[in-house]
Structure 1
């Protein structure tokens, strides 16, 4: 069974973006040390434009062969003129309003998201599935998430888009596996779901 990993950036108080989903304030922390870590450890999570800039075009995927994102996250790429931001992965967009896929590499999931994720997890592959965002689909898929990789930036938003939007109250336990710290104050915490 493949893992579904929620690999996400968030503020110190648990928001993945401002009330409109904008997280560009976190870009200020992409210094040489942290970018080097992302490029060497998580190259499969860097979008096509960033991969080219960092010399990662054609780099091997280390963790994932599939990415799932919500309409809001995907819309950022569309607005930037990119219909396949993660062309090195199989791309899925969970959306009931997008309509037909604008790119042959992108599959739109407009039906039962949980059932589709279970099908993807049951596939035979050594690589996992990356839940890229957004908040609402993370809330909908909470019971399916096997691992959390949280890049925590030293900022407080006060309010905004939570990591798990729309999820009702329920305690879900994860075990801390690793913590990486960086000179710019960023923490990367990895948790495995307790079953």
Structure 2
């Protein structure tokens, strides 16, 4: 079974996006525009991406992907991307984007099949990661903490997950970021 990894960036005070679901704060942070060699190694192990509609829409706007679909591989490669949404969204021409509705447990068999023996990257947002945690499907949380704060915004993980379920696996410096990696005990959900 593939591992599900929520790998994201957050501000020092725990927000992954601002109040308008924008990630502009991240790309204004030195080193926030791309991953280092460790991130590239992480991507090599990823078979499928999963994201919420706000994350998908922000990437569409930020990269103007409907007008420039050739930029999609630079973001995600040829990996299938599952987008959880409750509304109709435009697909990126030529990209393997699969729009899904409803419960993460119902969609999990399709995600797992598409991932094969590789990991699932849960790109965002925090509530979607929380739904995976609630369903006992989240294995790891990797957070790159940025040297920035926001007065308000979208929280990293709007759920109560106790220390009895989280084990610190690693801490490292990635430029101006501090990366924290935790395993999540699925059996305690």
TM-score by length of 1: 0.76
Query: Matches of 2:175 and 2:121 in 1, distance apart?
Result: 26
Task: Pick one of 161, 173, 177 that aligns with 2:154.
Answer: 161
Sort the Cα spacing of 1:189 and 1:102 in 2 relative to 1 into closer, same or farther, 3 A: same
Give RMSD over aligned pairs.
Answer: 2.7
Bigger mean CA offset, 117-126 vs 2-11: 117-126
Bigger mean CA offset, 96-105 vs 148-157: 96-105
* Deviations 1:126-167, CA, capped at 9 Å, x for gaps: 3100000113312222232100110001222242110124x4
Query: Any gaps of 5 or more consecutive residues in structure 2?
Result: none
Bigger mean CA offset, 23-32 vs 140-149: 23-32
Within a 5 Å distance, the mapping from 1:112-123 to structure 2 comes to: 112-121=103-112
Query: Matches of 1:189 and 1:11 in 2, distance apart?
Result: 13
Which residue in 1 is equivalent to 2:167?
A: 175
Query: Matches of 1:182 and 1:140 in 2, distance apart?
Result: 28
How many residues are aligned here? 174
Partner SS, residue 168 of structure 2: strand
Which residue in 2 is equivalent to 1:130?
A: 121
Is residue 2:35 matched to residue 1:43? no
Partner SS, residue 82 of structure 1: coil
* Deviations 1:107-137, CA, capped at 9 Å, x for gaps: 1012332221254336673310000011331
Sort the Cα spacing of 1:122 and 1:87 in 2 relative to 1 into closer, same or farther, 3 A: closer
Within a 5 Å distance, the mapping from 1:63-82 to structure 2 comes to: 63-79=45-61, 80-82=63-65
Shift of 1:4: 0.5
Sort the Cα spacing of 1:22 and 1:148 in 2 relative to 1 into closer, same or farther, 3 A: same
Query: Any gaps of 5 or more consecutive residues in structure 1?
Result: 46-60
TM-score by length of 2: 0.78
Sort the Cα spacing of 1:157 and 1:111 in 2 relative to 1 into closer, same or farther, 3 A: same
